[in-house]
Amino acid sequence: MDPMTSLFEPRQVGAMHLASRIVMAPLTRNRAPGSLANARMATYYRQRANPTTGAGLIITEATAISHQGQGYADVPGIWSEAQVASWKQVTDAVHAEGGKIVMQLWHVGRVSHTSLQPGGAAPVAPSAITAKTKTVLLVDGQAKFMDTSAPRALDASELPGIVQDYRHAARNAMAAGFDGVEVHAANGYLIDQFLRSGSNHRSDAYGGSIDNRARFLQEVMQAVVAEIGGDRTGIRLSPVTPANDASDDAPQPLFTHVIKALAPLGLAFVHVIEGSTGGPRDHQQGPAPFDYAALHQTYRAAGGQGAWMVNNGYDLPLANQALAEGADLVAFGRPFIANPDLGARLQQGGPFNTVERATLYGGGEAGYLDYPTLG
């Protein structure tokens, strides 16, 4: 395979045949009032869905599996029949362009605010430790960053219900016409909070040892795979990101354990954020730089067959290098916001539109639907 052209070549990913290795990463845009998808969202995804000029695969913005799972204003959900119906306009639009789309399933855990929770309750978490981070609320239609609220620790008896929320959300995503789902286990949200020693101080079967801290992730993944099949299920991991106050003093053994546990599930893909999400690729937590190549090798050695997706700060040369070194898919985030036809622009070496930061979160069509395409 010629590494200079491999980004634009097809790849079978589980049950999905992708026209290219280019993936649109999940990007929160806060444009779903009432937690419902809408016509603007359908247009936004359609603009990026053409497999020749856009993405081989689209991963939606993070979508809450339950009201409790919400942590930001005007983000979509997938727990109700109305939400399922609302998302059908999005999947229909993407499929009309010949594209493929999976839904990212999200429970934010402690990264929330009481104003977004059912009955104004405290957010939930593995342990009652407030995240040193911000959430986005909309004040008079403008995005405003606010401190997260203090969470309460989940009782172990509540966890099977949350696992079932993931399973139900996966079933709903398929009913809405998605090609699959990605379980969000990264960036300091609920599953990641259970994994990491900085946010999980439990003393029961879900805390302490690496095996215990990984138990919730395994239960979620087993439930989703049992519901819709491994060949339509992916997972997103971020071994060393500090996003949303995520920390662990020994990430290499932690994620080695996690990746071995995922290998037998027959997943469609494993999506790995390298370094600090949206920041330095060489960010380090723990005593040594994280070895992503070793993580990939461990997954393959344990029998994992899923496509290996890399993410964080990729351009065409770096993407080609990653593919030459064994990656299968490359995810691009913010470049897809400003460049609906990013695939075509990568293929011809640009030019590239720049992102308008002021319109990233919340608002209307400006900075959402009006980025120009080539020609």
- Count of other CB atoms within 10 angstroms of residue 347: 16
Residue 73: what are its φ and ψ, rounded to 5°? Answer: -70, 145
Instruction: Give yes or no: 361 in active site.
Output: no
Q: Which of 44, 45, 189, 368 is catalytic?
A: 189
Give catalytic residues, as residue numbers.
189
